[in-house]
Amino acid sequence: AMHEAGVPPGVFNMVVGHACGEVLSSHPEVDLVSFTGSARAGRQISAAAAQSLKQVRTELGGKSAAILLDDADLQTVVPQFVAQLMNNSGQSCNALSRMIVPESKYNEVIDIAKRVAENTVVGRSDDPKADIGPLVSQVQWDQVQSFMQKGMDEGARLITGGPGKPAGLEGGFFAKPTILADVSNQMTIAREEIFGPVLSIIPYSSEAEAIDVANDTIYGLNNAVASSSMKRCIQVGSKLRSGMVMINGTYMDWEAPFGGYKQSGNAREWGLAGLDEFLVTKTINVTAKDYEEAMCPAASPKHSEP
């Protein structure tokens, strides 16, 4: 497809294998490495690249939060935020895996989230009714199950889903869409990236507390804010330490920069900002007189008519 689009041979090459990452990131003739993946792998690549001082662009994990303010349209935004997490079976770095909810709306939000999760159909790729499919591997499935169990062991309340596989899907790496309530931000499920269809619902008592909870993470990729007041959304969104903030929904502009803060990485993908990551700045110093003669010879004195 790249060649059909006109990219010259040799510019784009696909090389696969477990050893490729280490070789490419440490090789002295590679000038820049762009990596999308886990924070752990990003640290390893950065360390290998440091030996040759090559530039590294990373887009890593996240532990994104959706803050529902007390005047949010819950019937509209909660289904969108839950669906955004469940898409791709939760295997998205920008998944809104924490939902931070005012105490006054807590039970209502739980009921809506439960309904959405239970209406999310898990199935095989050839099932036209399926909303989401399996996890990527047995290792990932085991990890997601472990997070679910650890969350309950640490005091979270299972609302729906939980460990195990959906009925009739025992043969694959399928996970149940899961809602856990009564979560504190110090629990493992609220701090570590699960990469599965697991939502943690966290109550808050003040707007300042909600912002603090959202920012209390090593990651900073994506967050969301919902309110009937756009002014409140912007005020809260401006205080969130993340590269992206969704307002009253899950809309994303594919030409807008995609990337985060902190251990979510140091680069931007998509759009012009994504292209800029692969450019370097060069300064050419020249006098104004020499520049004028070189670039605008017709306007320079020695080329003017007598």
Strands 244-247 and 222-226: parallel
Q: What are phi and psi of 5, to 5 degrees?
A: -80, -5
What is the SS3 assignment for 28? Answer: coil
- State the burial class of residue 49 (Cβ atoms within 10 Å of its Cβ: 0-12, 13-18, 19+): buried
pLDDT of residue 302: 57
For the question of residue 296 being annotated catalytic, the response is: no
Instruction: Give the 3-state DSSP-derived string for 153-164, with helices as H, strands as E and coil as C.
Output: HCCCEEEECCCC
Q: What is the C-alpha to C-alpha distance for residues 114 and 121, in angstroms, rounded to an integer? A: 13
Q: Where are the beta strands (DSSP E) in the chain?
A: 32-36, 55-59, 65-68, 98-102, 157-160, 178-181, 198-204, 219-220, 222-226, 244-247, 261-262
Is the confidence at residue 297, as pLDDT, over 80? no
Amino acid at 257: P
Average pLDDT of the residues in 65-78: 98
Is residue 215 a contact partner of residue 209, using CB atoms and an 8 Å limit?
no
Q: What is the C-alpha to C-alpha distance for residues 138 and 175, in angstroms, rounded to an integer? A: 11
Is the confidence at residue 142, as pLDDT, over 60? yes
Q: Which of 20, 93, 193, 305 is catalytic?
A: 93
Over residues 154-175, the pLDDT tens digits come to 999 999 999 999 999 999 999 9
Q: Where are the domains of the chain?
A: 20-60, 65-247
Query: What homologous superfamily does CATH list for 65-247?
Result: Aldehyde Dehydrogenase; Chain A, domain 2 (3.40.309.10)
Nearest to 204 by CA among 135, 104, 71: 104
pLDDT of residue 301: 58
Average pLDDT of the residues in 31-54: 92
| % pLDDT > 90, the chain | 87
- pLDDT-wise least confident of 35-39, 183-187, 211-215, 225-229: 35-39
Q: What is the C-alpha to C-alpha distance for residues 76 and 39, in angstroms, rounded to an integer? A: 33
Average pLDDT of the residues in 99-117: 99
| % pLDDT > 70, the chain | 97
Q: What is the C-alpha to C-alpha distance for residues 73 and 85, in angstroms, rounded to an integer? A: 18
Which residues are within 8 A (CB) of 83 and not within 5 positions of it... i.e. 6 or more apart? 116, 120, 250
Which residues are within 8 A (CB) of 244 and not within 5 positions of it... i.e. 6 or more apart? 94, 221, 222, 223, 252, 258, 259, 260
For the question of residue 233 being annotated catalytic, the response is: no
Sheet holding 178-181, edge to edge: 157-160, 178-181, 198-204, 98-102, 65-68, 222-226, 244-247
Over residues 7-40, the pLDDT tens digits come to 998 888 888 888 888 899 999 999 999 999 989 9
Nearest to 180 by CA among 208, 206, 154: 154
The counts of H helices and E strands in the chain are: 10, 11
Q: What is the C-alpha to C-alpha distance for residues 254 and 235, in angstroms, rounded to an integer? A: 24
pLDDT of residue 52: 92
Quickly tell me which residue has 């996240």 as its tokens: 62
Is the confidence at residue 303, as pLDDT, over 80? no
Q: What is the C-alpha to C-alpha distance for residues 3 and 1, in angstroms, rounded to an integer? A: 5
- pLDDT-wise least confident of 24-33, 144-153, 285-294: 285-294
Average pLDDT of the residues in 131-150: 98
Nearest to 180 by CA among 204, 162, 205: 162
Q: What is the C-alpha to C-alpha distance for residues 102 and 72, in angstroms, rounded to an integer? A: 10
Q: Which of 4, 59, 108, 293 is catalytic?
A: 59
pLDDT of residue 3: 87
Q: How far is CA 148 from its chain centroid?
A: 21
